[in-house]
């Protein structure tokens, strides 16, 4: 079945550091890939997405490229800010079993210190 493997946190970085959060997936067919973010005390919201191979999703300085050959969708940001502190979830949307399902990774907590 569909699955998402995401690096466990927490990840602690200093402000302006480079961020990478790894995400790999297993799925049949051609899934869509997403990164969702959960800020402290808030619900999940979409950060970015890519719907086909080699697509790059970007938002708020974050980027992720859909790599079918390595089944990966790693999240990157060149210079993190304290306000980026949150939990980041990689997710896969597929049609496994003939119905829509969206599978999430375990989530990676990012803490950015001044």
Partner 1 sequence: GAVVSQHPSRVICKSGTSVKIECRSLDFQATTMFWYRQFPKQSLMLMATSNEGSKATYEQGVEKDKFLINHASLTLSTLTVTSAHPEDSSFYICSARVRGTGNTGELFFGEGSRLTVL
The interface mask with partner 1, positions 16-45, x = CB under 8 A, is ---------------xx-x-x------xxx
CA dist 109 and 6 (Å) reads 11
**Beta-ladder partners of 1:** none
Measuring CA to CA, how many Å separate 1 from each of 22, 25, 101, 103?
Answer: 20, 11, 11, 10
Point out which span in 19-27, 58-66, 68-76, 86-94 binds partner 1 (CB under 8 A): 86-94
Q: Decide if 13 contacts 113 (C-beta within 8 A).
A: yes
- For residue 64, CA distances in Å to 3, 14, 99 come to 18, 21, 26
Least distance to partner 1, CB of residue 79, Å = 25
For position 58 contacting partner 1 by CB under 8 A, the verdict is no
Shortest spacing between CB 78 and partner 1, in angstroms = 24
Instruction: Specify which residues 88 forms β-bridges with.
Output: 37, 108
| Residue from the set 73, 107, 110, 112 that interacts with partner 1 by CB under 8 A | 107
49 makes contact with partner 1 (CB under 8 A): yes
Binding status of residue 106 toward partner 1 by CB under 8 A = yes
Please give the structure tokens belonging to residue 84: 């980026």
Binding site for partner 1 (CB under 8 A): 1, 31-32, 34, 36, 43-46, 49, 51, 87, 89, 91, 93-95, 97, 99-107, 109
């Amino acid at each position: 079945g569909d699955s998402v493997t995401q690096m466990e946190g927490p990840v602690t970085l200093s402000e302006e550091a480079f961020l990478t959060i790894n995400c790999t997936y297993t799925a049949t067919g051609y899934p869509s890939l997403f990164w969702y973010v959960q800020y402290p005390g808030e619900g999940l919201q979409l950060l970015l997405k890519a719907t086909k191979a080699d697509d790059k999703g970007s938002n708020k300085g974050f980027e992720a490229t859909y790599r079918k050959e390595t089944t990966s969708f790693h999240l990157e940001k060149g210079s993190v800010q304290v306000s980026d502190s949150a939990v980041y979830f990689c997710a896969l949307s597929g049609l496994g079993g003939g119905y829509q399902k969206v599978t999430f990774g375990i989530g990676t907590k990012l803490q950015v210190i001044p």
